[in-house]
């Protein structure tokens, strides 16, 4: 588990606060880890930081590397340059907080908190999490998720939601481990490029409860 990387900094559940996640544009953390899988030692290092305008091409390359099924919950296809351009505008206007994880100059994961300050649900934030298939199961997704969760209270968000297809078992388990619970299942809500329909699950978490739980674990 990734808490080994932060053993010298204190309790691993406190790593997002100690690393400064969400605390301004320079917020970032670096971590190196070796772990064993089927008798093999794998070394992985990555740095989590905020998305920058210069990251446009790297984000497009990352999106292209993902299976299409991973992108169905996003609402828009992240592989289109115009979608990335609109994403950058929303970041500049303060509607989106976007974090990226990079390993040796390449993106291996992203997390975002998406809000609509002008809507009737301005108190709600949607979390979007993507991790490269080759980096799953090692804690990167949890680190990204905890990093973006630390941003929510700063933005005045009271409720968090996350969308995913029900067969994304790893994602469902990750969010549920941090207190998210299923609120709705939308049948045949998204279609892939071949026109095949897929269900969409919506999980949610109360920010006040989340902050209280995290504080009690410190």
Across the strands, what pairs with 131? 109
Residues near 40 by Cβ (< 8 Å), separated by ≥ 6? none
Q: Model pTM?
A: 0.75
Instruction: Give per-residue pLDDT as tens, 77-125.
Output: 677 778 888 878 889 988 999 999 999 889 999 999 999 988 899 999 9
Give the model's pLDDT for residue 18.
32
Selection from 8, 10, 16, 9 nearest residue 139 by Cα: 16
Report the distance separating Cα 23 and Cα 19, nearest Å. Answer: 9
Give the model's pLDDT for residue 28.
40
| Torsion sign across C-alpha atoms 10, 15, 17, 23 | positive
Instruction: Read off the DSSP letter of residue 41.
Output: E
Residues of the chain with pLDDT under 50: 1-43
CATH annotation of 48-217: 3.40.630.30
Q: Is 100 helix (H, G, I), strand (E, B) or coil?
A: strand
């Amino acid at each position: 588990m990734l808490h080994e990387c932060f053993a010298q900094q204190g309790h691993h559940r406190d790593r997002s606060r100690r690393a400064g996640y969400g605390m301004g544009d320079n917020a970032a953390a670096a971590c190196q880890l070796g772990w064993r899988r089927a008798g093999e030692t794998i070394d992985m290092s990555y740095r989590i930081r905020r998305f920058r305008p210069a990251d446009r091409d790297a984000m497009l390359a990352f999106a292209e590397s993902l299976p299409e099924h991973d992108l169905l919950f996003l609402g828009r296809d992240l592989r289109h340059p115009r979608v990335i351009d609109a994403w950058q505008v929303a970041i500049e206007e303060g509607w989106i907080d976007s974090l990226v994880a990079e390993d040796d100059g390449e993106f291996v994961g992203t997390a975002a908190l998406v809000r609509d300050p002008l809507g009737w649900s301005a108190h709600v934030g949607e979390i979007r999490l993507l991790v490269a298939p080759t980096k799953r199961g090692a804690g990167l997704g949890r680190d990204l998720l905890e990093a973006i969760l630390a941003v929510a209270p700063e933005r005045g968000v009271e409720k968090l939601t996350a969308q995913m297809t029900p067969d994304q078992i790893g994602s469902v388990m990750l969010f549920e481990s941090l207190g998210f619970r299923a609120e709705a299942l939308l049948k045949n809500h998204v279609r892939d490029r071949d026109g095949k329909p897929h269900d969409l699950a919506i999980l949610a978490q109360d920010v006040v409860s989340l902050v209280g739980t995290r504080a009690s674990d410190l």
